[in-house]
A and B are shown apart, each in its own frame.
Chain A
């Protein structure tokens, strides 16, 4: 099973700042098989990025994804207060899906 490790655990930044979230895989992941989700308290996750770098429908362009192989990054270019949430990466490999443990983004 491919293990995804996200860092940092928590990111505390001010509005307008740039957030960089990391997702590292225990073995190589196809870029087509890497997605990012945002989850706010009490709600279901929301798809942000698929195929490592493609934005899902209606996702603002301040969200971007990049990376390949074992290292992937979600960047929020200019934080807004509503970006306060937990962010998860997800991969598919060997017929199994796995999620990272999440990065919590706090807005000061």
Chain B
């Protein structure tokens, strides 16, 4: 079955960077895009960007340009999202989600990684 499994919770200090992973299994890794969506406590969903594992192309939300980097490792079926210059406003659950190219919807989601930014 399709699974997207996140790395564990992180606690970071303001100004630091965080790198969260999402390991895919149960389907052909290179045939689906992976998106990152975050959710601050008690808030809604915010799209951060996506990566195409087949060619490493990325598309980032304008808000995060220059601060987010998404990469992939095809040998392990893992996608990474690194966010730099963290502030308390980056405290959120970070989800990865799968999209069939061109489908414009996210059919499977990971369980999420809580990132807490605190001094």
Q: Which residues of A have CB within 8 Å of B46?
A: 99
- The verdict on A45 contacting chain B, using a C-beta distance below 8 Å, is yes
Q: Given contacts A90-B105, A95-B59, is CB(A44)–CB(B44) below 8 Å?
A: no
- The verdict on A32 contacting chain B, using a C-beta distance below 8 Å, is yes
Are the CB atoms of A50 and B44 closer together than 8 Å? no
- List CB contacts (< 8 Å) of A23-37 with chain B: 32-33, 35, 37
* Interface bracket on B: 20 to 34
| Chain B interface SS verdict (over half) | loop
Are the CB atoms of B109 and A45 closer together than 8 Å? yes
- The verdict on A63 contacting chain B, using a C-beta distance below 8 Å, is no
Q: Given contacts A1-B62, A95-B59, A96-B61, is CB(A88)–CB(B103) below 8 Å?
A: no
Q: Which residues of B have CB within 8 Å of A90?
A: 45, 47, 105-106
Are the CB atoms of A35 and B109 closer together than 8 Å? no
Are the CB atoms of B47 and A44 closer together than 8 Å? no
Q: Which residues of B have CB within 8 Å of A85?
A: none
Are the CB atoms of B62 and A50 closer together than 8 Å? no
Are the CB atoms of A102 and B107 closer together than 8 Å? no
Question: Count of chain A residues with Cβ under 8 Å from any Cβ of B?
Answer: 25
Most buried by A among B62, B104, B110: B104
- List CB contacts (< 8 Å) of A53-105 with chain B: 56-57, 88, 90, 92, 95-102
Residues of A within 8 A of B (CB): 1, 32-33, 35, 37, 39, 44-47, 50-51, 56-57, 88, 90, 92, 95-102
Known A50-B105, A56-B107, A99-B45; further 15 A-B contacts with Cβ < 8 A: A39-B45, A44-B95, A45-B106, A45-B109, A46-B109, A47-B107, A51-B105, A56-B105, A88-B45, A90-B45, A96-B61, A96-B62, A99-B37, A99-B47, A101-B44
6 contacts between A and B (CB under 8 A): A37-B45, A44-B97, A45-B97, A45-B106, A46-B109, A90-B106
